[in-house]
Amino acid sequence: MLGTLVVVLPAFWTMGQIGRWRAIPLAAIVVAVMLGLSLPRAVAAISTSDWPPAAAALLVVTFIATVASAWVAANGWPRIAGATVYSLVAGFAVWLRRYGRVWRAVALFAQLPLIAVLVAPIPSSLTGNLLLWVVVSAITALTWAGATAYLMNRPDPGERPGGNGPRRLQASTRMSVQLIIAVAVAFGAGQVVDEKHIVWPVLTALIVLNNNRGREDVLRKGAQRLTGALAGTAAATVLVSLWPPGDTRSVVAIFVVIAVAAAVRPFGYVYWAACVTAGLSFLYGYLGEGGMDTLTRRLAGIAVGGVIAVLTAWFVAPVKPTGSDSRRA
């Protein structure tokens, strides 16, 4: 919990201080906070010597994912192109794990911006200024995550023993195929269910399938994701509907929820899902997207994404619940 807050809050504060001198897009601030939320666990999971290539991968994927998200926010062929790029990057990041420790670190960090950028309010009219600030936000979160890990003098995990080579290769390939298909299908389903809120099914499919330990694990995570999202989204949406868009109480609520999420994560994924989804609801309420109609659409999107993830895990190259590739980040 402490490591997460020590990264999230300074990253937010740093972007706020820079904002005193330059106009920073809200999307860049959201990316900094979301990366700050996920980076501490990722940094603790890799060797110190692997930080440079992992950090480079995070910056590159942040750039690519931002462009892809802007295309998804558009209409017509750009949306299809953005969904395709996003799906392929998600699958490719998992596939890289087959090549050893360094590439596993690169793959782990490459996955983080996919969620961070997906929940950020990236406009369809992408500009160089926005791309620059999103990359700056990623650098900010990386800096604070690295500094925190260094000051806390964490043990270096170094080289880890794993399963035999063929099993690892097979698992990474299967998980890669699953992610590509599930994310692509989730984009298509989101287009049909609610094209204005396409993020929810895609985000759910990505989270539920990411680092899965087999079909039963995905089924359990899907059920917990839906249960937690139901509670967290409902509570947050009702509460935020009492506040006008842009109310600073929504911002305070986001950081309170982040703190609670970090505290309850060891007790079960369902609590983590509830808190994270509630935080996103507060964010979108701050942006003016609230109300019971929005709540219904969110829950429908989450349910669709969960079903897609479960069906993909069970019927598309199922992963056996063994092997080093099934470790969770």
- Structure tokens given for 288: 């003016």
Q: How far is Cα 272 from Cα 261, in angstroms, rounded to an integer?
A: 5
Confidence of residue 100 (pLDDT cuts 50, 70, 90): confident
What is residue 156's predicted lDDT score, i.e. its pLDDT? 53
What does the angle CA 251 – CA 253 – CA 257 come to, to the nearest 5 degrees? 120
Structure token digits, residue 271:
């609590």
pLDDT over 50 at 167, yes or no: no
217-247 pLDDT, tens digit per residue, is 778 877 887 788 778 877 887 777 778 888 8
64 against 148, higher pLDDT:
64
- Is the pLDDT confidence value at 168 over 50? no
Q: For residue 205, what pLDDT is reported?
A: 86
d(CA 88, CA 187): 12
Q: How many CB atoms lie within 10 A of CB 283?
A: 24
* Per-residue pLDDT at 69: 92
Burial class of residue 176 in the structure, from the number of CB atoms within 10 Å of its CB (0-12 exposed, 13-18 middle, 19+ buried): buried
What does the pLDDT read at residue 152? 66
Which helix (DSSP H) or strand (DSSP E) does residue 310 occupy? helix 292-315
- Residue ranges per structural domain of the chain: 1-160, 166-329
The pLDDT of residue 81 is 93
- C-alpha to C-alpha distances, 162 to 97, 108, 323, nearest whole angstrom: 12, 16, 7
Would you say 324 and 160 are in contact if contact means Cβ atoms under 8 Å apart? yes
Q: How confident is the model over 49-66, as pLDDT tens digits?
A: 898 999 999 999 999 999
Per-residue confidence (pLDDT) for residue 131, from 0 to 100 = 92
Question: Rounded CA gap, 286 and 293, in Å?
Answer: 16
Per-residue pLDDT reduced to its tens digit, 74-97: 888 888 999 999 999 999 988 888
Cα dist. 63→24, 66, 138, 202, 286 in Å?
16, 5, 10, 19, 25
Within 8 A by CB and 6+ apart from 276, the residues are: 232, 257, 261
Which of 50-59, 144-153, 283-292 is most confident? Answer: 50-59
Give the C-alpha separation, 299 to 310, whole Å: 16
Please compute, for residue 172, the number of CA atoms within 13 A of its CA located in the half-sphere on the CB side.
23
Q: For the residues 284-309, what does the mean pLDDT come to?
A: 79
User: Average pLDDT, stretch 195-218?
Assistant: 79
Band the pLDDT of 321: cuts 50, 70, 90.
low
Q: Using 50, 70 and 90 to split pLDDT, how confident is the model at 153?
A: low
- Residue from 291, 178, 207 nearest 243 by CA: 291
Mean pLDDT across the chain: 81
**H-type alpha helices, 20-127:** 26-44, 51-73, 77-95, 101-119
Which DSSP state fits 97?
Answer: G
